[in-house]
Structure 1
Amino acid sequence: MQNLAFKAYGEVQQRTAGEKEIEYALFQQITEALEDVSEPDTVSPGTWGDAIYRNQQLWTLLATDLMSDANALPAETRQQLLGIAQFVRQYSMRVLAGEGDISELIEVNRTIMAGLSGAGAPTPNGESS
């Protein structure tokens, strides 16, 4: 799944600066919330679940926008991002069921954030290329 995120991030850079800045700020806020609850033993289950739910909401809104005819991204990029949105939805359910690690969701978001900021895609060890 990360390969799709790495491939799609470059295309995300083509959006206008205003849109990208807003999207980046949303991803940053929600990703920080995920990072804050990445150790579920240290936070309440409600706070932990809320962070995952907010991330799902972000990706649902993104998917809705990607399906709109008004979305200016290339069709291939839209399809890749829709695939990532589907992964996030399914993987979030696994995390909520205790079968996955929240760090995967954080990594996907960070990869998209790198594309939105114009930075190189993060490598699997977290460094920008």
Structure 2
Amino acid sequence: MISTSLAQSAYNAAATPVRTDRGTEYAAFQKVTALLNKARRPEASMVERAEALDKNRKLWAIIAGDIAGADNKLPQSLRAQLFYLAEFSLLQSSKALKEADALDSLVDVNTAVMRGLSGQGATT
């Protein structure tokens, strides 16, 4: 019995898909954006909103730190745009604690970043 469960756990680990950096970033944005969407519901509690905003702030703080690093390989113009989005998201997160409608723009920004990460680019 124990050997069977050990074998299953070994094969389960091998079945886990390998993610690229882009895929990992996409998954992080997807998870945080889902939390923000849940927090936008009329019945969402302030705790749900605060937790979603905290996760969004942490994600954008990581992104800002990464793009500010000297070893970042992204083009300078893209780094500047992403840094601007990070600043906006951090400020908008504070606003969203007081005004639930401010969550909409955070979801929009994260969704646009996810489109970029998936190769879809911006839509007009």
TM-score, normalised with respect to structure 2? 0.80
Task: Verify the 8 A CA contact 2:40 2:100 in the aligned structure 1.
Answer: no
Give the 3-state SS of the residue equivalent to 2:20 in structure 1: helix
Match of 1:104? Answer: 105
Tell me, in whole angstroms, the C-alpha distance in 1 between the residues paired with 2:100 and 2:25. Answer: 29
Percent identity between the two aligned chains = 33
TM-score normalised by the chain length of structure 1: 0.77
Alpha-carbon distance in 1 for matches of 2:32, 2:113: 12
What is aligned with 1:34? 36
Post-superposition offset of 1:99: 7.2
Aligned CA RMSD, in angstroms, stands at: 1.5
Gap regions ≥5 residues in structure 2: 1-18
Distance 2:93 2:108 in 1: 13
Give the letter for the 1:93 counterpart: S
- Any idea what SS the aligned residue of 1:48 has? helix
Shift of 1:84: 0.7
Distance 1:34 1:76 in 2: 28
Distance 1:99 1:30, change over 3 A: closer
- Which residue is equivalent to 1:122? 123
What is aligned with 2:8? none
Question: Quick one: higher RCO (CA 8 Å, sep 6+), 1 or 2?
Answer: 1
- Bigger helix share: 2
Paired residue total = 106
Q: Which has the larger radius of gyration?
A: 2
